[in-house]
Amino acid sequence: MTSGDLVLQPYDPGASLEPHEAEYFELSVDSPVTQQIDSLSLLASLNVFAVEKQFVQGLRFYVIIAQPKQGKPIYFFLSYTPKKELGRSAFLGAILEKGHFDTVKQPLFLFDYNIDCLSRDDEMFIFSKDKFQKIFQFFEKLLESAAVTLKEIKAQVPILNFDQFEDSCKGHLQKLAKLSSIAGKPYFKVLSMKQMKKVIKEFKLPLETKRVDGEEMLVFDGSDKWVILHLLDDYYLGSPMTGIKYGAPSKREL
């Protein structure tokens, strides 16, 4: 699905966005994103912004609302950090008045031209994945579900030193997103040790297996904390045209 030079892709937590891509997904009633933006539909009842220290310190994003003459409003989301306040920015603000420059003493906010994501009705479109994740506290939500996701992986894939593997994932947003993506893939439920060993051998991966109490297991080694995740994510591919082997950081099914 395309719009001009922009390619729209279904939302995938573990995939990277190319510069020409955007992602979309449907906002369900019980979605964590929906719960965070639900108050926007009651715009008239929202409090007027006040520059209060506690509020500004907790500010994650701001919203520009476009209301067409007909149809539902469009919400443009932009991430916010303390650097967007001129007083905390690395830049010096000055105003030219009567031929002289004077420093800006009142608090001023810097606004972006680039939209990080937008929603209309029940659809969300993502243009900057990293900022989208920060706006909607993606890390916190993934961390909440990490225990369930890791339990599913532990039940399906025998991993020696699983506690260490678990610890290496829990403090890392990209790894948690990758775990969530892996657990949702159709092939994951039928993944076998035979299939994984074939890939390990073919791509000469720095990953050992060891038999423990009669069960063969992948050995997690802290010296390469990504290799098991990449293996489970079907990261390693080969070209049928050239025979060259690749690591594919972002894959989308055709």
Number of domains in the chain: 2
Distance between CA atoms of residues 213 and 200, nearest Å: 22
Q: Are residues 8 and 127 in the same domain?
A: yes
pLDDT computed for residue 12 by the predictor:
81
Q: Is residue 252 one of the residues assigned to a domain? A: no
Distance between CA atoms of residues 27 and 13, nearest Å: 15
Q: Are residues 118 and 148 in the same domain?
A: no
Q: Are residues 108 and 147 in the same domain?
A: no
Q: Are residues 82 and 164 in the same domain?
A: no
Final residue before a domain boundary, out of 121, 136, 151: 136
Q: Are residues 12 and 110 in the same domain?
A: yes
Distance between CA atoms of residues 123 and 90, nearest Å: 36
Which pLDDT tens digits describe the chain residue by residue (254 residues)?
444 578 898 888 777 788 889 999 999 877 788 888 888 877 766 777 666 666 666 778 888 899 888 889 999 999 887 665 545 555 555 555 666 656 656 666 666 778 999 999 999 999 998 899 889 887 777 787 788 889 999 999 999 999 999 999 987 878 888 888 888 888 888 999 999 999 999 999 999 999 999 999 999 998 999 999 999 988 888 777 777 777 776 666 65
Q: Which domain holds residue 224?
A: 140-247
Final residue before a domain boundary, out of 136, 157, 183: 136
Q: Is residue 253 one of the residues assigned to a domain? A: no
pLDDT computed for residue 100 by the predictor:
62
Q: Are residues 115 and 166 in the same domain?
A: no
Q: Is residue 254 one of the residues assigned to a domain? A: no
CB-based contact 251:230 (threshold 8 Å): no
Q: Is residue 93 one of the residues assigned to a domain? A: yes
Q: Are residues 131 and 171 in the same domain?
A: no
Distance between CA atoms of residues 112 and 138, nearest Å: 21
Distance between CA atoms of residues 177 and 201, nearest Å: 27
Q: Are residues 106 and 212 in the same domain?
A: no
